[in-house]
Amino acid sequence: MAEKKYYPIMLDIENKNCLVIGGGNVAFRKIRTLLEYSANISIISRDLCAELRELNLNWISKEYKPEFLKGNFLVIAATDDEELNTRVYQDCKNGNIPVNVVDKPELCCFILPAVYREGGLTVSVSTDGKSPMMAKLIRDELREKAGFLDLIARLRPKVKQNREITLGTRGSKLALKQAEIVMEELKRYLPSLKIQIKTFKTIGDKNPDIPLQDIKEDDVFTRELDMAVLNNEIDLAVHSLKDVPEALPQGLSLNILPKSEDPCDVLVSNNNLKLGELPHGAIIGTSSERRAEQVRKLRPDLRFTPIRGNIDERIKKVEDGQYDATVLAAAGLRRLGLEDKIAEYFDINNFPTAPGQGKLAIITRAGGLK
């Protein structure tokens, strides 16, 4: 028998009657997807799992009968009774009603792909019903790409109108390089897009001598840029993702550039010494409590002193002898072509890094670009 192939199709099921037969966890997962598309859902099952009871849907607490199919746009058989699922499939087939039998792709007129939605973009992944888990994993890997492509879609009208967009960034060499990386990626999809760069000084930039832990703010490198986006002063802001606070100001949207760099931390030291080669009591310059604690576990004899400044400035402080070494993100050094300054790469499994390190964030207005 030839392998069955499915024609990928997206249906409008808003306000259409959809019937789910079964009341367990599998039925709940299928119903949750249908609800995202505003279907009118009825359930046939003698009992419902707790999650389905909370949804307060139309529940028919009876044994399945073929007449229940009448008037439904599509049907999903999600019981653990194979004989019943097969009977539902046959009844639907006789009544020309599209039917999906969970875990039985050979008994499906349609299948439910793993779906991710971002603005006007919908990404769906299917394994022809053979491996829903694999489809979900692939979908999750596409999330960041989907968000970026939705941003591209929102920028297209600017190209058609021959308008210029303004991209905001901090003024350091690394920040400007990161802005250029974002520009190049945007222009890869929209070659005619006109972009100008506007630089800002953030709280962190204005207070270079104050240890970050003393500022006690989680948006020291992002606030001024984010406010400029909200005030329509710029269209986009570029940040290192690790600098973005957990909660964005209301009215903003986060997009992640799919192109990322090595997320690990590295050691920069005098004479390119590795951590284990540094002399007893050597001074490590870092303003990160996380980095200090992780280095301390490996070398409890070392001393730690706060260090501020951009990458070039921190490297110069090490080379001038103010510090014996410092810990930096590999991503920044690689983006600036300073790999030769790296004395040692730390294994990310033993030396966990800040969430989002190596990735770039693009901030836009949640309501779209004007």
Q: What secondary structure does DSSP assign to 138-184, as a single string?
A: HHHHHHHHHHHHHHHHHHHHHHHTT-EEEEEEESSHHHHHHHHHHHH
Q: Which of 91, 150, 243, 324 is the catalytic position?
A: 243
> Same domain, yes or no, for 318 and 203?
no
Task: Tell me the three state secondary structure of residue 115.
Answer: strand
Answer yes or no: 81 catalytic. Answer: no
> Same domain, yes or no, for 361 and 237?
yes
> Same domain, yes or no, for 152 and 279?
no
Q: Which domain holds residue 181?
A: 143-260+357-365
Question: Which pLDDT score, from 0 to 100, does residue 119 have?
Answer: 62
Name the region of 365 (left: φ>0; alpha: ψ -120 to 50; beta: rest).
Answer: beta
> Same domain, yes or no, for 61 and 173?
no
- Cα dihedral sign for 81, 25, 43, 38? negative
- Give the total number of structural domains in the chain: 3
Task: Tell me the three state secondary structure of residue 83.
Answer: helix
> Same domain, yes or no, for 179 and 209?
yes
Rounded to an integer, what distance in angstroms lies between the CA atom of residue 79 and that of residue 45? 9
> Same domain, yes or no, for 200 and 276?
no
- Write down the pTM of the prediction: 0.67
- C-alpha angle with apex 363: 232 to 170, nearest 5 degrees? 85
Task: Tell me the three state secondary structure of residue 13.
Answer: coil
Position 5 in a domain: no
Position 4 in a domain: no
Position 84 in a domain: yes
> Same domain, yes or no, for 234 and 361?
yes
Question: Which pLDDT score, from 0 to 100, does residue 109 have?
Answer: 86
> Same domain, yes or no, for 308 and 329?
yes
CATH of the domain at 299: 3.40.190.10
Inter-axis angle of helices 173-189 and 132-160, to 10 degrees? 90
Position 25 in a domain: yes
Domain boundary among 112, 134, 166: 112
Question: Which pLDDT score, from 0 to 100, does residue 3 have?
Answer: 61
> Same domain, yes or no, for 87 and 166?
no
> Same domain, yes or no, for 361 and 220?
yes
CA distances 137 to 116, 124, 259, 355, Å, are 11, 12, 19, 20
CA distances 48 to 21, 41, 100, 104, Å, are 11, 14, 20, 22
Question: Which pLDDT score, from 0 to 100, does residue 21 have?
Answer: 97
Per-residue pLDDT of the chain (370 residues; tens, 9 = 90+): 456 666 667 788 999 999 999 999 999 989 998 998 899 999 999 999 999 999 989 999 999 999 999 999 999 999 999 999 999 999 999 999 999 998 888 888 887 776 766 666 676 776 665 666 666 676 666 666 777 888 888 898 888 888 899 999 999 999 999 999 999 999 999 999 999 999 999 887 787 666 566 666 778 889 999 999 999 999 999 999 999 998 899 999 999 888 889 999 999 999 999 999 999 999 999 988 999 999 999 999 999 999 988 899 999 999 999 999 999 999 999 999 999 999 999 999 889 998 899 999 999 998 767 6
> Same domain, yes or no, for 239 and 361?
yes
CATH of the domain at 71: 3.40.50.720
Rounded to an integer, what distance in angstroms lies between the CA atom of residue 3 and that of residue 342? 53
> Same domain, yes or no, for 165 and 282?
no
